[in-house]
Structure 1
Amino acid sequence: MIGFSRAIFLILSLIIIYLIRKFPTRKAILRSIQIFLLVLALSGLQFFSSLSQINVVFLLDQSLSVSPEEKENVLNFINNSLRYKGENDKVGLITFAGDVNIEEDLKEKPNLNKISGVETPYFTNIENALLSAISLKGKQEPLRIIIASDLQENVGNVEKLLNKMKNEKIQVDVYPLKTKQYKELILMKLQTPKIIDTGQVFPVEVYVKSFGIKEGTLEIEWENKKYTYQLKDLREDNFFSFNLKSTSSGLKDVSVRIKSAEDTYLENNTAISFVYVQGKPKILYLIGEDFQPLFSNALRLQGWDLIYDKYPYITLENDLSNYQLIILDNIPANKLTWNKMNNIRRFVVEKGGTLLILGGDKSLSAGDYQQTPLEEILPVTLKPEQLLKRSNVSLVLIIDASGSMGALSGGEPKIELAKESAQLVVDFLNDEDYFGLIAFDHSYQWIVPLQRLTNKEKVAELISRIEAGGGTAMYPPLKSAGEELIKIPNQNKHIIAITDGQTEGGDFYGISRWLAKNKITISTIGIGEDVNTNLLKNIAEWGNGRYYYAWDLRSLPQLLLSETKALLRSNIIEKNFTPKVNRPEFLNIQNLPPLSGYVLTSAKYPYPVLISDPTGDPILAFGQFGLGQVYVFTSALKSYWGKDWLKWKDLGRFWSELLRRSIPHYISNIHVDVVQEEENGVINLRTADAQGNYINYAEIKFIITDPKGKEIQGVMEQKGPGFYQGKFPINSLGKYQITLWENNNNIAKILWYTTNTNEFIPKTFNEDLAYLLTSTTNGKIIKEPKDVFRSWNFKSEEPKPLDIPLILCSMVLFLLELFFRKWRSIREMVMEKINTFKRQQGEEWYDSVQEKILNEWRNKPYPSMLETASLEMRARLYIAHLKAQEKKKK
Structure 2
Amino acid sequence: MTLTTPIALALLLVVLPVIVYLGYPRQRFRRTRDSLSLVLRVVIMTLLVLALAGVNVAQSAQKLAVIFLVDASDSVGALGVEAALNQVRAALRVMGSDDAAGVIVFGGDAQVERAVNQVRDLNVLRAAPDSGNTDISGAVRLALALFPADAARRIVILSDGLETVGSAEAAAELARASGVQISYLPIARNTAQPEVRVADFSAPATVQEGQQFDLAVSIDADVATSAQIVIYAGGEEIFREQTQLAQGMNNRTLTLEGTQSGFRDFQIVVEPPAGTDGYYQNNSLETFSQIVGTSRVLVVSINDEDARYITPALQDAGLQVDSIAPGGLPTAVTGLAQYDSVILVNVPATQLSIRRMQVLQTYVRDIGGGLVVIGGGQSYGPGGYFQTPLEETLPVEMQIKDQQRLPKLTLAYVIDRSGSMGSVAPDGTPMIEIAKEAINRSIDLLQPNDRAAVASFDAVAYWIALFQTVSDKDALKSLVGTLTSSGGTDILAGMRLVAKDIVAEPAEIKHIILLTDGGADPAGLVELTGDLYENNNVTTSTISIGVDSPLLRDMAQAGGGNYHIALDRSSIPTIFAQETVLATRSYIFEESFVPTLTARNPLMDGITALPPLLGYVGVTPKTAAQVILRAPNQFQDPILAAWQYGLGRSVAFMSDATGRWATNWVSWGEFSRFWGQTVRWTVNEASDSTLETQVVMEGTQARVIVDVRDADGGFANGLDLAASVVDPALGSRSVVLRQVAPGRYEAVFTPGSEGAYLISVNGVQTTTPEAESTPLRQTTGWVMRYSQEYVGGGESVLPLLAQITDGQALTANDVGAVFNRDIIPRQANTP
| CA distance 1:229–1:148, change in 2 (3 Å) | same
| 3-state DSSP of counterpart to 1:360 | coil
Find the counterpart in structure 1 of residue 378 from structure 2. Answer: 362
The one-character-per-residue Cα deviations of 1:184-212 (angstroms, maximum 9, x if unpaired) are 22222222211111221123332333334
Aligned match for 1:758, one of 782, 785, 788: 788
Aligned match for 2:587, one of 561, 572, 582: 572
Letter aligned with residue 684 of structure 1: I
Query: Does 1:225 pair with 2:238?
Result: yes
Find the counterpart in structure 1 of residue 183 from structure 2. Answer: 173
| CA distance 1:163–1:281, change in 2 (3 Å) | closer
Letter aligned with residue 60 of structure 1: V
Aligned match for 1:492, one of 469, 472, 494: 472
Query: Does 1:636 pair with 2:633?
Result: no
| 3-state DSSP of counterpart to 1:494 | helix
1:315-330 to 2 correspondences below 5 Å: 324-330=340-346
Query: Does 1:706 pair with 2:727?
Result: yes
**In the TM superposition, what is the alpha-carbon distance from 1:730 to its structure 2 partner?**
4.0
Find the counterpart in structure 2 of residue 71 from structure 1. Answer: 81
CA distance in 1, matches of 2:816, 2:576: 57
Aligned match for 2:162, one of 149, 152, 172: 152
| CA distance 1:580–1:751, change in 2 (3 Å) | farther
| CA distance 1:347–1:704, change in 2 (3 Å) | closer
| CA distance 1:164–1:193, change in 2 (3 Å) | same
CA distance in 1, matches of 2:326, 2:86: 59
Letter aligned with residue 732 of structure 1: S
Query: Does 1:268 pair with 2:282?
Result: yes
| 3-state DSSP of counterpart to 1:154 | coil
CA distance in 2, matches of 1:209, 1:308: 37
CA distance in 2, matches of 1:61, 1:52: 29
**In the TM superposition, what is the alpha-carbon distance from 1:348 to its structure 2 partner?**
6.1
| 3-state DSSP of counterpart to 2:297 | strand
Find the counterpart in structure 2 of residue 305 from structure 1. Answer: 319
Find the counterpart in structure 2 of residue 739 from structure 1. Answer: 760
CA distance in 2, matches of 1:787, 1:657: 74
| CA distance 1:619–1:718, change in 2 (3 Å) | same
Query: Does 1:673 pair with 2:694?
Result: yes
The one-character-per-residue Cα deviations of 1:374-397 (angstroms, maximum 9, x if unpaired) are 969966998759899xxxxxxxxx
**In the TM superposition, what is the alpha-carbon distance from 1:245 to its structure 2 partner?**
2.1
| 3-state DSSP of counterpart to 1:151 | coil
| CA distance 1:379–1:677, change in 2 (3 Å) | farther
1:774-793 to 2 correspondences below 5 Å: 776-778=805-807, 781=810, 783=812, 786-787=816-817, 789-791=819-821, 793=823
Aligned match for 2:678, one of 655, 669, 673: 655
| CA distance 1:658–1:74, change in 2 (3 Å) | farther
**In the TM superposition, what is the alpha-carbon distance from 1:687 to its structure 2 partner?**
2.0
**In the TM superposition, what is the alpha-carbon distance from 1:173 to its structure 2 partner?**
2.7
Q: Compute the TM-score of the two structures, normalised by the length of structure 1.
A: 0.53
Question: 8 Å contact 2:651–2:682 — kept in the other structure?
Answer: no
**In the TM superposition, what is the alpha-carbon distance from 1:544 to its structure 2 partner?**
11
CA distance in 2, matches of 1:224, 1:487: 55
1:323-362 to 2 correspondences below 5 Å: 324-332=340-348, 354-362=370-378
**In the TM superposition, what is the alpha-carbon distance from 1:232 to its structure 2 partner?**
5.1
CA distance in 1, matches of 2:692, 2:300: 34
CA distance in 1, matches of 2:163, 2:349: 51
Question: 8 Å contact 1:622–1:632 — kept in the other structure?
Answer: no
Aligned match for 1:58, one of 54, 61, 68: 68
| CA distance 1:300–1:490, change in 2 (3 Å) | closer
| 3-state DSSP of counterpart to 1:70 | helix
**In the TM superposition, what is the alpha-carbon distance from 1:98 to its structure 2 partner?**
3.4
CA distance in 1, matches of 2:569, 2:357: 21
| CA distance 1:294–1:689, change in 2 (3 Å) | farther
CA distance in 2, matches of 1:132, 1:138: 13
| 3-state DSSP of counterpart to 2:210 | coil
Letter aligned with residue 737 of structure 2: M
Find the counterpart in structure 2 of residue 131 from structure 1. Answer: 141
Find the counterpart in structure 2 of residue 281 from structure 1. Answer: 295
Aligned match for 1:258, one of 257, 270, 288: 270
Question: 8 Å contact 2:67–2:155 — kept in the other structure?
Answer: yes
| CA distance 1:152–1:354, change in 2 (3 Å) | same
Question: 8 Å contact 1:265–1:760 — kept in the other structure?
Answer: yes
**In the TM superposition, what is the alpha-carbon distance from 1:226 to its structure 2 partner?**
0.9
| Count of matched residue pairs | 606
**In the TM superposition, what is the alpha-carbon distance from 1:67 to its structure 2 partner?**
0.7
The one-character-per-residue Cα deviations of 1:339-394 (angstroms, maximum 9, x if unpaired) are 9989997996999975422233331331356899x969966998759899xxxxxx
| 3-state DSSP of counterpart to 1:749 | strand
CA distance in 1, matches of 2:788, 2:173: 28
| CA distance 1:98–1:291, change in 2 (3 Å) | closer
CA distance in 2, matches of 1:62, 1:715: 38
Question: 8 Å contact 1:664–1:749 — kept in the other structure?
Answer: no
**In the TM superposition, what is the alpha-carbon distance from 1:321 to its structure 2 partner?**
8.7
| CA distance 1:77–1:495, change in 2 (3 Å) | farther
CA distance in 2, matches of 1:117, 1:611: 52
| CA distance 1:655–1:731, change in 2 (3 Å) | same
Question: 8 Å contact 2:385–2:391 — kept in the other structure?
Answer: no
CA distance in 2, matches of 1:93, 1:385: 60
Query: What RMSD over aligned residues (CA atoms) do the two structures have, in Å?
Result: 6.3
Query: Does 1:770 pair with 2:770?
Result: no
| CA distance 1:641–1:258, change in 2 (3 Å) | closer
| 3-state DSSP of counterpart to 2:79 | helix
CA distance in 2, matches of 1:496, 1:723: 57
**In the TM superposition, what is the alpha-carbon distance from 1:741 to its structure 2 partner?**
3.7
| CA distance 1:770–1:316, change in 2 (3 Å) | closer
CA distance in 2, matches of 1:141, 1:580: 80
CA distance in 2, matches of 1:151, 1:762: 12
CA distance in 1, matches of 2:723, 2:91: 49
| 3-state DSSP of counterpart to 2:60 | coil
| CA distance 1:488–1:83, change in 2 (3 Å) | farther
| 3-state DSSP of counterpart to 1:127 | helix
Find the counterpart in structure 2 of residue 10 from structure 1. Answer: none
Letter aligned with residue 269 of structure 2: R
Extract unaligned runs of 5+ from structure 1: 3-45, 389-432, 434-481, 499-504, 520-536, 547-563, 802-890
| 3-state DSSP of counterpart to 2:381 | helix
Aligned match for 1:192, one of 185, 191, 203: 203
| 3-state DSSP of counterpart to 2:474 | strand
CA distance in 2, matches of 1:132, 1:722: 43
| CA distance 1:291–1:208, change in 2 (3 Å) | closer
CA distance in 2, matches of 1:160, 1:192: 38
**In the TM superposition, what is the alpha-carbon distance from 1:151 to its structure 2 partner?**
0.6
CA distance in 2, matches of 1:496, 1:197: 59
Letter aligned with residue 786 of structure 2: N
1:818-829 to 2 correspondences below 5 Å: none
**In the TM superposition, what is the alpha-carbon distance from 1:778 to its structure 2 partner?**
3.7
Moved more, 681-690 or 324-333: 324-333
The one-character-per-residue Cα deviations of 1:698-742 (angstroms, maximum 9, x if unpaired) are 444444443344445433343323323333434433333333344
**In the TM superposition, what is the alpha-carbon distance from 1:249 to its structure 2 partner?**
1.8
Q: Which has the larger radius of gyration?
A: 1
Question: 8 Å contact 1:251–1:351 — kept in the other structure?
Answer: no
Aligned match for 2:214, one of 203, 213, 218: 203
CA distance in 2, matches of 1:169, 1:496: 61
**In the TM superposition, what is the alpha-carbon distance from 1:771 to its structure 2 partner?**
6.5
1:160-559 to 2 correspondences below 5 Å: 160-181=170-191, 182-213=193-224, 216=227, 218-221=229-232, 224-226=237-239, 228=241, 230-231=243-244, 233-235=246-248, 237-261=249-273, 262-285=276-299, 304-305=318-319, 307=321, 324-332=340-348, 354-368=370-384, 384=399, 491-494=471-474, 507=485
Q: Compute the TM-score of the two structures, normalised by the length of structure 2.
A: 0.56
